[in-house]
Structure 1
Amino acid sequence: MSALMLLDGGTGRELARMGAPFRQPEWSALALIEAPHFVSQVHAAYVQAGADVITTNSYALVPFHIGEERFVAQAEALATLAGELAQGVKRQAGRPVAVAGSLPPSCGSYRPDLFRAEEGRRVLAPLVRGLRAQVDHWQAETLSAIEEAQLVRDVLGHDDKPLWLSFTLQDEGCADAQPRLRSGELVADAARAALALGARAMLFNCSQPEVMAAAVDVAVDFFRSQAAAVQVGVYANAFPPQPKDAEANSGLDEIRADLTPALYVNWARSWRARGADIIGGCCGIGPEHIEQLYKARMAGVL
């Protein structure tokens, strides 16, 4: 088993907790626009907690959040700023830290039914242009369907930076007990697609901890069967199950009381035992959770 890599956690809720400008519909993009020093503070908090990877604050740079007019005029420049802020914290880290270029679901989080390739291409293209010089790898996040991942690869073209594909899962158990994406597609098929697309890592994010283990099992087994050097990772959220018509980042959902930092480590130990070698957190998982993961890794129990 390879060494465990620690991701950071959620950004939007941390910005709100720090007192950064924060409201709907802009979500985490508002701090980037009005008070970018808060974004740097969030990155620094995760580095201090022990994260090996910090993620650019570019998830909300889509028309749904910042509006069509601002998106057309400023999306590329804001993506560049998001990358520069992360790189600035990386330079001050005093140890190796990687910057992940966050590419959001282009037509709506949790909503594979809204996906349209032409619109997705329009949304992703300026983000890729703005981030390209600033990131160490691409991290396409909260993908609900395989075709969303295929679009990311197409938009990136021949970019040689490593590609990480992170899928969001159905929170409710499936009748056939097979882990599935929110589109209903099998995780096994998504793993096959990730390999064909040249992904260096396949992750699962923004879903409940309870559904992650089965997905890790499927992905690890598939990549081993193909003798493929594709890493597997998890960064769960801390929300109750989300309905099929939910829109990610549509509001501050309640946080589960049973996902304290110590209890989150217990979940992480299960994923690690199954072969996950990248672990972090998504919405509602903060620096205190990452710090406990770091301490567990240092103690040799993760």
Structure 2
Amino acid sequence: MTPHSLRLLDGGMGRELQRIGAPFRQPEWSALALIEAPQFVLKAHQAFIAAGARIITTNSYAVVPFHIGDERFAQQGRALAERAGQLARQAAAESLEPVTVAGSLAPALGSYRPDLFAHQRSVAIHRELIAGLQAEVDVWLAETISSIAEVRAVVEALDAQPKPLWLSFTLLDDLDGAPRLRSLEPVADAVQAAVELGAQVVLFNCSQPEVMAAALRAAGAVIQRLGHTVELGVYANAFAPVGAQATANSTLLEIRQDLGPQAYLHWAQSWVEAGASVVGGCCGIGPEHIAQLHLHLLPPQQRRGQ
């Protein structure tokens, strides 16, 4: 694989919105601020950029029927996705340094639940989000993917759009055996499918830090065997292990006390050593974590103002 320079992704939008006092409750999760107080979404993007993130993710993860309901999604889903894209683009445009805007495409029918997947329904939901986001984003980031079937639905919904495709898988929080998706499919199979479907970056997110390095090594072996130039990345969450029948963001999960900024930096260093060139954070990882990555992972010439 060709070496890539390290780039920093942002952290978890939902917990940051809650921390700064935005409207925040279930089932709307991070979509509530987008609906009722979008200035908080802009503020959260700005905080991550100020911390050193150079890739920010649109606050469109919860703009799905699972969170905002079928009726609201049918009436407002596309407009809310458009608003999410505009807020991210505004924050990026205000930055003195280039910032990439990644259009977030969440699992359409519930995170962590490959058993709830339905292909055509997922394609239809994603097409609405894509229509709202497409004018503002630089890359597409389909994230927290639990199965290979979900990848295929995203690719169908995108319908050969020219913007780069990034695919991020969520892993089974199991430290024994080969790394697997939450569908129990091997990471190696998922990465091969992602590469064959045109992903330029393959990432792992919304899982424990402890399972990420093994997934990176498995992914790197597949990419080397296929002879492709594909970047790898990681953005872990700060939750305790989540059970097989849990649904992400269905409740406010407790944040681990052992994953402060310094501890998270330690994990991030191990991911870079294992081949990651895109690193950030997922749920529970805030601007203070990203600031540590910026200070200690990037070479001096890549830091702010240099």
Task: Give the distance between the partners of 1:256 and 1:54, measured in 2 at CA.
Answer: 24
Note the C-alpha offset of 1:64: 1.2
Alignment of 1:284 with 2:294, yes or no, is no
Q: Equivalent residue for 2:293?
A: 293
Q: Could you list the per-position Cα deviations for residues 69-112 of structure 1 after superposition, in whole angstroms to 9, with x for gaps in the alignment?
A: 11000000000000000000011001010000000001110000
1:74 is aligned, of 73, 76, 87, to 76
Aligned-partner SS, 1:138: strand
Question: Match for 1:98 among 100, 110, 114?
Answer: 100
Equivalent residue, structure 2, for 1:85: 87
Number of residues paired by the alignment?
299
Aligned to 1:164, the other structure's residue is in SS state strand
Unaligned runs of 5+ in 2: none
Match of 1:43 in 2: 45
Poorly superposed stretches of 4+, deviation over 2 Å: 297-300
2:11 partner SS: coil
Cα distance per residue 1:217-259 (max 9 Å; x no partner): 0111111222211100000000000001111111221111110
Distance 2:250 2:160 in 1: 34
Alignment of 1:74-223 (within 5 A): 74-174=76-176, 177-223=177-223
Task: Please give the alpha-carbon distance, in whole angstroms, between the structure 2 residues aligned to 1:254 and 1:158.
Answer: 39
Verify: 1:232 aligned to 2:205, yes or no: no
1:299 is displaced (CA, Å) by 5.4
* 1:88 aligned partner, one-letter code: Q
Q: Secondary structure at the match of 1:234?
A: strand
Deviations 1:36-66 (A, max 9, x none): 0000000000000000100000000011111
The Cα shift of 1:297 comes to 2.3
Alpha-carbon distance in structure 2 between the residues aligned to 1:152 and 1:256 = 32
Alignment-derived partner of residue 32 in structure 2: 30
Root-mean-square deviation (CA), in Å? 1.1
| TM-superposed deviation, 1:173 | 2.8
What corresponds to 1:58 in structure 2?
60
For 1:33 and 1:88, the matched residues in 2 are separated by: 17
In the TM superposition, residue 136 of structure 1 has moved relative to its aligned partner by 0.3
Counterpart of 1:275 in structure 2 is 275
Tell me, what secondary structure is at the counterpart of 1:70?
helix
- Cα distance in 2 between the residues matched to 1:6 and 1:225: 27
Tell me the distance in 1 between the aligned counterparts of 2:80 and 2:240.
32
Identity, in percent, stands at 57
Q: Can you list the C-alpha shifts for 1:178-210, whole angstroms capped at 9, x where unaligned?
A: 100000000000011011100001000000000
TM-score by length of 2: 0.96
Amino acid at match of 2:148: I
Q: TM-score, normalised by structure 1?
A: 0.97
What is the CA deviation profile of residues 115-134 of structure 1, one whole-angstrom value per residue up to 9, with x for unaligned ones?
00011112111100000111
